[in-house]
Chains A and B, each alone.
Chain A
Amino acid sequence: MTIRTRPRRRLLGVASALTVGAILLSGCGAASTAAPSADATPKPGGDLVFLIDSLGATWIPNNSSISSYQGNIWGHLTDKLVYVDAEGALSPWIAESWDENADKTQFTLHLKEGVTFSDGTPLDAAAVVANIDIWAKGRPDEGINRIGLFPSANYQGAEAVDATTVTVSFSAPTLSFIPTLAYHGSILLSPTTLALPADQQADLTNDIGSGPFTVEKVADGDSVVLKKRDDYDWGPEAIGHDGPAYLDTITYKQVAEPSLRTASVESGQAQVAYNASPQDLDALKGEGLTVETPRYLGFVNGYALNTTVAPFDDVRVRQAVQHGIDRDEILSTVYTEDWHAAESLIQSTVPEATDRSADFAYDPDEAASLLDAAGWVKGADGVRTKDGQKLSFTLYPNPYLQASQSVDELVDQQLTTLGFEVNLETYDVPTYGQKVIGNAAVPATEITRSFVDVGTVAGVLTSQKKGDEDWFKVGTSDATLNDLATRIATATDRDARAAVADELQGYVLDQGYFVPLTQIVQRVYVQAPDVSGVTYNGLAYAYYLDAWLND
């Protein structure tokens, strides 16, 4: 009926110019408070509004506790047995102390007394046994996942010795057990909740924890309001906060549009905006907002190379990729100064991480001579060939990682100047899951994963055990790697294991199995200046037990 004769593009331009103008205008009215002085005293009260991209999917605890979104909420509704700080140091929480036997197959947890769930049930040994059981096994036939990183393979069982003592047994040395208790999947819930069927656990109001906040109101897909629990008095020792939280309520409100989240904080309608885009951060700091980019413990962002497909079946080509990538350019182009270049295949915050950046430093000349030595010759079109084959491979940006595509586009440019032909294939999450994950022909897999214990690394290197992920597709062909993986997995002494971990990082990088890029920041917090006392744990979640608002 209407013939659209108007050039849409021009109109769009006008409209976006108007929008930008409006944003600038509204920015002028934004509250600009001075940063609080360092000696500001905490004051109780206040309502914190936290704007989040998504509230995730289901609320079944086991299925949602490690969600980057819902993890923020679980962290306030529930406690954990052990606390892990940003440097990976473990400290007591609901477990006051723990002992382990000499071969690290049996652990005894000594629980704090007087802790209760918000429904009044005591958080005692029986409750802890019920929790450890469901983390280890889940109830898959009822739609309840296990906790993926829990050392389930060796788990034999947990037992309540008395009201405050639990013993947990494994069939093989399991150094990773205690750190796993601090992992974001290991949240303690009331046995009443755990006994419910999945579709009732999916209703957050049924999920009873012992944390500093309780659920006040849930609107599916819109918001979750948490209320302070007045009788809370068992926060992590490391936080150093006695008694209940200062804040009265925390409202998590879903706002999908990133610019609206940050503009709401600028205009004083909210205190925290989650996951702003890296390009906007400098401007937001200029507005007087605080930007927090905590790093979780885990693997860095990088490529695991498939050693069974050309051209990565040649160690010299793999090393050429390592030396052909300019990480500083990635940091300055895609990210801000809040990000760090990778120094190894694991994040620098992991206690066992060692600085190996010299092994894969940017050196285009070195990369070129490696490719020359491997027999790849540049043709007239700038692409290297060997026996009629092009030096070519495909990169699949990881849809689970923000900014992955921008990083891969830059890597594509950098490697093209070396004589590679790089193809980019971008898929959404479902397609990526079908075409890339588990596909043995994919030449390079982009990694993003958190863990709380370096022992996790053992499970991805080879295919020696069932469930091993064999990232580099070496199977069991690399005797050195087999040995390193086994020694890490079966270690019974943390110091000795750290030495093995150091050796392992050197070997994996030296063989060009892994190409590190940057240290991952999966969670970005943009915060109003009147928020103080926020802490970040080893999983990079903001924790508001000790936080307060200055007016």
Chain B
Amino acid sequence: MLRIYGRFALRRTGQAIVVVVLAYLFTFVVISILPGDPVTSTLRNPDNGFTEDDIARIVAYYGLDQPWYVQLGSSLGRFVVGDLGVSLRSNLPVGTLVFDALGSTLSLAAAALLVAIVLAVVIAYGTQFLPPRFGQGVLRSLPSLFLSVPNFVIGLLLIHVFAFGLGLFSMIDTETPWGTFFAAVALGIPVSAQLAEVLIASLDHESRQEYVAVARSRGLRSGALFLRHLAKPSALPTVTVLALIVGELLGGALITEAIFGRVGIGTLVESAVASQDLPVLQAVVSLAAVVFVVVNLVADLAYPLLDPRVSVGPSGRPAVSASREDPAPLLREEVGIV
């Protein structure tokens, strides 16, 4: 059993490394097949009045006149020894740029995750214990509403009401507690929808189980019932979804940071994409891939350990022992985790 698990863990880890390398290569290819390069675009601004000779000499300084495989080779060579190179846009070291931006994004993502979890739990709890006439239907449709309203609309609304209207935070100094809170709300609302969906589904499933009827018949109150009996089994699939949500947060941070004028990884990516700043993009994409892959890896490796009913089958994939019925894998299928 342990040997099977070890092999499963090893394979999963190997796959994770391949994904990161592929992400790095993919970024290079995508940016390379785009027309033009950031240096030439800037120099060709007609306001500059440069001749093509002027431009060619500067482009040569950046090595952008080399064939693609030479550029890829030297960038990989640097990457392997941990040198992330220099930004083509700002001429500043990529490592410094990423490190400076990381703190802001981490605090935003953490706050947004917290907002999302609180919202999801409140909504899910409500769907179980509110009488159907008193808004249970509304609560059940909230997640799809949250998913359909674009992130930037929520952001703009929050800014206009709370920054310009009530003056709780200002657009000039965005990293204040209030500023971070409202940005986190804008980012957390769509994320909470996914969590709430899964939580509602598994609560529905669990509350149909016999033990719940037994507990209710013993006169257990809703709150206690939720905490003592429903919360734990329903949390398991939610943990899985959390891994996916890390991706959501990374993607959503890009828009949220742009709207709220925060300087983080999102805005760094945005300016790097706009200016085809390959070294910065490769660093950020690799970092994002590492985070995403590690979180999912941890979730995958932890799953068989967390839930005794899930074992690693001969295929090296978590499988359900046939004797027991378990909602989690079904849910994993449902949310598209295969």
Which A residues are closer than 8 A to B by beta carbons?
1-6, 8, 11-12, 15-16, 18-19, 22-23, 25-26, 29-30, 49, 51, 57-60, 63, 66, 68, 138, 140-143, 145-146, 148-149, 198-199, 201-203, 219-222, 251, 253-257, 260, 263-264, 266-267, 269-270, 398, 400, 429-431, 433-435, 437-438, 447-451, 456, 459, 466-467
Contact of A2 among B35, B50, B51, B144 (CB under 8 A): B144
Q: Mark B272-288, 1 if CB is under 8 A from A, else 0.
A: 00011000000000000
Residues on the A chain within 8 Å of B60, using CB: 141
Residues on the B chain within 8 Å of A253, using CB: 171-172, 261
10 new A-B contacts at CB < 8 Å, known A267-B164, A456-B49? A15-B153, A26-B161, A142-B61, A199-B91, A222-B263, A269-B171, A430-B40, A437-B44, A438-B52, A449-B49
Residues on the B chain within 8 Å of A434, using CB: 35-36
Asked whether A400 lies within 8 Å of B46 as measured between CB atoms, the reply is yes
Closest to A296 in B: B47
Closest to B47 in A: A449
Contact of B153 among A19, A145, A203, A220 (CB under 8 A): A19
Contact of A263 among B43, B50, B57, B164 (CB under 8 A): B164
Give Cα distance in the complex from A60 to B89, angstroms. 11
Residues on the B chain within 8 Å of A435, using CB: 35
B258 at the interface (CB under 8 A from A): yes
Closest to A398 in B: B46
Asked whether A141 lies within 8 Å of B145 as measured between CB atoms, the reply is no
Point out which of B53, B148, B157, B193 has the most chain A C-beta atoms below 10 A from its C-beta. Answer: B148
Residues on the B chain within 8 Å of A466, using CB: 51
Asked whether B148 lies within 8 Å of A8 as measured between CB atoms, the reply is yes
Asked whether B144 lies within 8 Å of A448 as measured between CB atoms, the reply is no
Asked whether B157 lies within 8 Å of A15 as measured between CB atoms, the reply is yes
Pair count A-B, CB < 8 A: 195
Asked whether B157 lies within 8 Å of A148 as measured between CB atoms, the reply is no
B62 at the interface (CB under 8 A from A): yes
Give Cα distance in the complex from A1 to B36, angstroms. 39
Give Cα distance in the complex from A450 to B49, angstroms. 10
Label chain B's interface by main secondary structure. helix
11 contacts between A and B (CB under 8 A): A1-B335, A12-B153, A15-B149, A22-B161, A22-B165, A26-B164, A140-B61, A148-B48, A219-B263, A257-B258, A449-B47
Give Cα distance in the complex from A264 to B86, angstroms. 34
Asked whether B149 lies within 8 Å of A269 as measured between CB atoms, the reply is no
Contact of A221 among B164, B271, B335 (CB under 8 A): B271
Give Cα distance in the complex from A62 to B128, angstroms. 65
Asked whether A263 lies within 8 Å of B160 as measured between CB atoms, the reply is yes
B58 at the interface (CB under 8 A from A): yes
Asked whether A448 lies within 8 Å of B47 as measured between CB atoms, the reply is yes
Residues on the A chain within 8 Å of B214, using CB: none
Asked whether A149 lies within 8 Å of B91 as measured between CB atoms, the reply is no
Please give the distance in Å from B168's CB to the nearest CB on chain A: 12
Give Cα distance in the complex from A57 to B62, angstroms. 15
Contact of A22 among B46, B144, B157, B258 (CB under 8 A): B157
Residues on the A chain within 8 Å of B167, using CB: 267
Asked whether B41 lies within 8 Å of A433 as measured between CB atoms, the reply is yes
Give Cα distance in the complex from A199 to B261, angstroms. 26
Asked whether B149 lies within 8 Å of A11 as measured between CB atoms, the reply is yes
Please give the distance in Å from B117's CB to the nearest CB on chain A: 17
Which residues 82-110 of B have a CB within 8 angstroms of A?
86, 89-93, 97, 100
Q: Mark B116-136, 1 if CB is under 8 A from A, else 0.
A: 000000000000000000000
Closest to B58 in A: A140
Q: A255-B171, A431-B36 are in contact. Are A220 and B144 (CB under 8 A)?
A: no
B42 at the interface (CB under 8 A from A): yes
Residues on the A chain within 8 Å of B53, using CB: 467
6 smallest A-B Cβ distances: which pairs? A430-B36, A202-B91, A148-B49, A140-B57, A26-B164, A26-B165
Please give the distance in Å from B12's CB to the nearest CB on chain A: 23
Asked whether A448 lies within 8 Å of B46 as measured between CB atoms, the reply is yes
